[in-house]
Structure 1
Amino acid sequence: MKAAAITKQTAIASMSKVCACFNLKRDAYYKYQQRWKRYKSVESRVIELVKEERKMQPRVGVRKLYETLLPSFKSTHIKVGRDSLFDILRANNMLVKRKRAYAKTTNSYHHFHKYNNLIKEVQVTKPNQVWVSDITYIRTVKGFCYLALITDMYSRKIIGHDLSDSLELAGCLRALRKALWHTKPAAGLIHHSDRGVQYCSHMYVNELKRKA
């Protein structure tokens, strides 16, 4: 159908000859042309309604948008389903992009000394041989909170933790102090982390050296 339209515009051949090449009747081409015009008219009106709604709700998704606009579609006799609405918005680059649903917890770009990986070839055979420190985030209705953890690599037991509303050093230090207080490891303990800024800071390293 598109080839027929292009041929008609450029006057390369008559419409009858073009339709015959594609084994089509002229009536079929003209009916298609009418349907396409109706579709573009509906698409244009739908886009106008969506733009008006997005002025008040810039990040509204397709599902809610369809429910909101359904009365307007019915009153203007526009027959558009939810899937068709999705197709129109996608074709016109109007889908709302999702915001990043995770929080970055590691900052490895810092000026503190980064220690070598000491557990690369170590065989862990007992508790309190290797402790692993990490921070994970928990999403809440008010935003993110951050859980600092100290885990014994052999037993997989969490031996220190702290829940905080920020990624500051204080939460990691509290988790470490809990682990040191409850476990009191022997000399030679290996502390392993992702070498983020919290774990390489002077305060954290000095705490380890002083008590571990």
Structure 2
Amino acid sequence: MCRLLGVSKQAYYKHEDKLLHRLALESFVVDYVREVRRKDPGIGGGKLWQMYNRRFGTAWHVGFNRFYAIMERHGLKLRRRKRRAVTTDSRHGLPVYPNLVKALIPDAPCQLIVSDITYIVCWTDPLTGEYTFCYLSLITDYYTKEIVGYSVGETLDSRYPLEALEMALRHYGDRDLSGLIHHSDRGVQYASYEYTRRLKERQIRISMTESGNPKDNAVAERVNNTVKNELLGGMTFLNITQVREAVKEAVDFYNNERPHWSLDGMTPAEASRCKGELKKKWTSFRERAIKGQSRPQTGSRPASG
């Protein structure tokens, strides 16, 4: 073999030693990445490389480019969850409803509830970065900011928002709901016959956004963000059962322990016992604008006759 390659035996065995070392080092890197991924399935290559070097130093040093190439060769690069799940499909032929809450500022619980859907990542194969989505439907009392209904579903089927609605109805019990407004986007789930029929059965008025602007359903969007990115932020879920358990705990904490600056530092549960305008520790420009429109202009004269 040495004669065929035109090299000395010494050079041949030196090369063989280097090759074995490279293969051993590559196997070492792969094992390390898989070990870390069992704890944190979503961790990226940059952080993995930093952790690797911090742990093993120069003895088993691997440059970033080579480290990245090893991950790619062994299918360990994350398929980044950089695709977003689309949760609102307004392209349907179902009836839609006008926006009834443009100038509404509730001053008591059970006047306005807002609904929205967001997605949560479930890792189906943490080692390869395979993942899927599940979908969280939330219903919030606008005045108290209390989450009164929620459901986690495997699909965007309307049955899951309907489950959240049924929970909200149980929350309000036997109260007369004829003065309550349900506000949502124009997604097919909220426009479905099953969903709107249930609202009408309880004499709840239906309100929908008129555009895709998140500000048209700002409180629902804000609560979604709080639950998903604050309360569930950093958590790793491998199945929908884990998501449901975590959401249950998160909602309980959110409603009963977490203070809100929108409620003058009260929890939603505490605010549910209040009536009248609640102080905020921040300025709501929407409410300021509405109040400004409702005030009579200074210097205006009463109409004659």
- Of 162, 168, 186, which residue of structure 2 is paired with 1:173? 162
Task: Find the aligned partners of 1:186 and 1:145 in 2 and give their Cα distance.
Answer: 31
Q: TM-score, normalised by structure 1?
A: 0.54
Asked if 2 retains the 8 angstrom alpha-carbon contact of 1:128 and 1:185, the reply is no
CA shift for structure 1 position 147: 1.1
Q: Structure 1 unaligned segments of length 5 or more: list them.
A: 1-59, 68-80, 87-95
Deviation at 1:85, TM superposition (A): 7.3
Q: Which has the higher contact order (CA 8 A, sep 6+)?
A: 2
Aligned to 2:169, the other structure's residue is in SS state: helix
Pairing 1:154–2:143 present:
yes
Alignment correspondent of 2:88: 106
Q: CA offsets, 1:97-150, max 9 Å, x none?
A: 964433111111111112111111112111111100111111121321111111
Matched, 1:186 2:177: yes
Match in the other structure for 1:137: 119
Give the whole-Å Cα distance in 1 for the aligned partners of 2:152 and 2:78: 31
Contact 1:130 1:152 (8 Å CA) reproduced: yes
- Please report the TM-score for the alignment, with normalisation by the length of structure 2: 0.39
Q: Give the drift of 1:192.
A: 0.5
Which residue of structure 1 aligns with residue 276 of structure 2? Answer: none
Matches within 5 A, 1:62-81: none
Of 153, 166, 186, the residue aligned with 1:195 is 186
Give yes or no for the alignment of 1:204 onto 2:195. yes
Secondary structure of the residue aligned to 1:141 is: strand
Q: What SS does structure 2 have at the residue aligned with 1:133?
A: strand
Quickly say closer, same or farther: Cα 1:134–1:153, change in 2 above 3 A: same
> Are the equivalent residues in 2 in contact too, given 1:150–1:158 (CA < 8 A)?
yes
In structure 2, give the amino acid aligned to 1:177.
E
* Residues 113/82 of structure 1: CA separation in 2 closer, same or farther (3 Å cut): farther
Unaligned stretches of 5+ residues in structure 2: 1-43, 53-61, 68-76, 125-131, 205-305
Q: Which protein shows a greater Rg?
A: 1
Number of aligned residue pairs: give it.
141
Spell out the pairing of 1:3-82 with structure 2 (5 A cutoff): 82=63
Q: For residues 138-163 of structure 1, what are the alpha-carbon distances to aligned partners after superposition, in whole Å with 9 as ceiling and x for unaligned?
A: 11213211111110000000111111
SS at match of 2:182: strand
Q: Secondary structure at the match of 2:160?
A: helix
Take 1:153 and 1:124, find their aligned partners in 2: how far apart are those partners? 7
Query: Mean alpha-carbon deviation: is it higher for 100-109 or for 146-155?
Result: 100-109
